Chains A and B, each alone.
Chain A
């Protein structure tokens, strides 16, 4: 499997704190994406970073990509209780079209 590996598996923080999730992978990628999933629902696309990009911002989200280390991180600043969800990184490889998902990080933001 070429899926990403996420770390940590679970993260519990207080409202207002920052949350950082990491994704490592082994293959060459075209892009790396982050998705969010609330319990029992479908996934929602958050942000996409291309292999030639190093950092992207979207609102309270900041994503970094280090292709030399084959790793990415997702930072959520000033977290809110509503950010409680599972977060998945997904890889789109250069060689194929499928999007391969990691196992996810379960984030709990306590009010």
Chain B
């Protein structure tokens, strides 16, 4: 499978616990994005990387959220001290940023439920 893969597919956790999600982008893609989506809403931008550099982070993202992309390959998104409001689908996408307009390739997402 050469698409974007996310792990785990589902995560159930108790409030206050830390969770970490992983995203493996398409190998030749240099950009990686994280979005959050709640039921009936569009994806909300969280952050993105170009290679290993985190270029932009949403102001909506609290300091409980951190993302990394070591060596410009896979990425992890960690949420510390989870709250019930963090329950959502977390989507990862990758793209190749070149001279032409870019399009995103999405993974299937990680569905987080905070009890």
A-B contact pairs, 7 of them (CB 8 A): A40-B89, A43-B93, A43-B106, A45-B105, A48-B101, A98-B33, A100-B45
Q: A98 contacts which chain B residues (CB < 8 A)?
A: 33, 45, 48, 56
Contacts of A99 in B (CB 8 A): 33, 45, 104
Q: Mark A85-101, 1 if CB is under 8 A from B, else 0.
A: 00010101000111111
The answer to whether A44 has its CB under 8 Å from any CB of chain B is yes
Choose one: A48, A92, A104; the contact of B42 (CB below 8 Å): A104
Quick check: B106 and A3 within 8 Å, CB to CB?
Answer: no
Interface size counted on chain A using CB atoms at 8 A = 25
State the 9 A-B residue pairs at the shortest beta-carbon distance, nearest first: A42-B106, A101-B42, A43-B106, A31-B101, A45-B103, A101-B43, A42-B108, A103-B42, A98-B45
Q: Which residue of A lies closest to B48 (CB)?
A: A98
Q: B25 an interface residue at 8 Å Cβ cutoff? A: no
CB-based contact B33/A42 at 8 Å: no
Asked whether A50 and B56 contact (CB < 8 A) given A3-B42, A101-B42, A103-B41, the answer is no
CB-CB nearest in chain B for A30: B101
Q: Which residues in A have some Cβ–Cβ distance to B below 8 Å?
A: 3, 30-31, 33, 35, 40-45, 48, 50, 88, 90, 92, 96-104
Interface size class of B (residues with CB under 8 A): 20 to 34
Task: Establish whether residues A42 and B48, one from each chain, have CB atoms under 8 Å apart when the complex forms.
Answer: no
Residues of B within 8 A of A (CB): 4, 33, 35, 40-45, 48, 55-56, 89, 91, 93, 97, 101-109, 111
Residues of chain B within 8 A of A43, CB atoms compared: 43, 91, 93, 104, 106
Chain B's nearest CB lies how many Å from the CB of A18? 23
